């Protein structure tokens, strides 16, 4: 049997993971792929797909595994989403669903148009769309940075 899963899947923790599933569907267009519940209907594990990528949405199952909402808004990771469609329209969809837009869409020196947002529990998400092919040399000239490993 072929393995259909992406080789890297982020896991995001929420105080209310079932609400997060609905929110992420509304804000980003994620699709629920798997939902595991216990006998009382509590979420045990879930996975959402976005194109050929996935994210796990879970609950606070220990003192070390918490939502930013439960630890004073602290964030130890952010999640990056690449989209093929209009990133500006994607931003408006996220805003309409209740995402706090931290950085409006802006074209970056490396050719991606990006925006950054925070969900209701404090997770930070960056969304990008490649809008221009940029050479390493052009990116270095525009940014003043030395870039190694450019594709």
Entry pTM: 0.90
Q: How many domains does the chain have?
A: 2
Q: Are residues 54 and 85 in the same domain?
A: no
Average the pLDDT over 3-22 and give the result: 90
Q: Are residues 120 and 93 in the same domain?
A: yes
**Residues sharing a CB contact under 8 Å with residue 12, sequence separation 6 or more, in sequence order:** 20, 55, 56, 57, 58, 79, 123
Q: What is the pLDDT of residues 43-83, one digit of tens each?
A: 999 999 998 899 999 999 999 999 999 999 998 889 999 99
Q: Are residues 13 and 45 in the same domain?
A: yes
Convert the chain into a string of H (helix), E (strand) and C (coil): CCCCCCCCCEEEEECCHHHHHHHHHHHHCCEEEEEEECCCCCEEEEEEEECCEEEEEEECCECCECCHHHCCCCCCCEEEEECCCCHHHHHHHHHHHCCEEEEEEEECCCCEEEEEEECCCCCEEEEEEECCCCCHHHHHHHHCCCCCCCC
Question: What does pLDDT average to over the chain?
Answer: 93
CATH number at residue 39: 3.30.720.120
Q: What confidence score (pLDDT) does residue 21 get?
A: 98
Q: What confidence score (pLDDT) does residue 2 get?
A: 63
Q: Is residue 105 one of the residues assigned to a domain?
A: yes
Q: Is residue 151 one of the residues assigned to a domain?
A: no
Q: Is residue 68 one of the residues assigned to a domain?
A: no
Residue 20 in this model has a pLDDT that exceeds 60 = yes
Q: What is the pLDDT of residues 28-45, one digit of tens each?
A: 999 999 999 999 999 999
Q: Is residue 110 one of the residues assigned to a domain?
A: yes
- What confidence category does residue 6 fall into, taking pLDDT thresholds of 50, 70 and 90? confident
CATH number at residue 89: 3.30.720.110
Q: Which domain holds residue 107?
A: 78-146
Q: Is residue 72 one of the residues assigned to a domain?
A: no
Q: Is residue 103 one of the residues assigned to a domain?
A: yes
Q: Are residues 31 and 82 in the same domain?
A: no
């Amino acid at each position: 049997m072929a393995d259909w899963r992406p080789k890297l899947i982020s896991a995001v923790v929420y105080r209310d993971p079932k609400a997060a599933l609905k929110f992420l569907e509304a804000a980003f267009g994620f699709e629920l792929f798997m939902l595991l519940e216990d006998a009382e209907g509590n979420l045990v594990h879930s996975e959402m797909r976005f194109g050929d990528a996935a994210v796990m949405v879970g609950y606070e199952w220990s003192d070390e595994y918490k939502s930013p909402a439960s630890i004073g808004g602290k964030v130890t990771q952010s999640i990056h989403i690449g989209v093929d469609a209009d990133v500006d329209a994607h931003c408006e969809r996220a805003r309409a669903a209740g995402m706090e837009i931290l950085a409006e869409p802006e074209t970056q020196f490396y050719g991606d148009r990006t925006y950054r947002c925070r969900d209701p529990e404090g997770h930070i998400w960056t969304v990008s769309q490649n809008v221009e092919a940029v050479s390493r040399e052009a990116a270095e000239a525009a940014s003043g940075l030395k870039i190694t490993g450019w594709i």
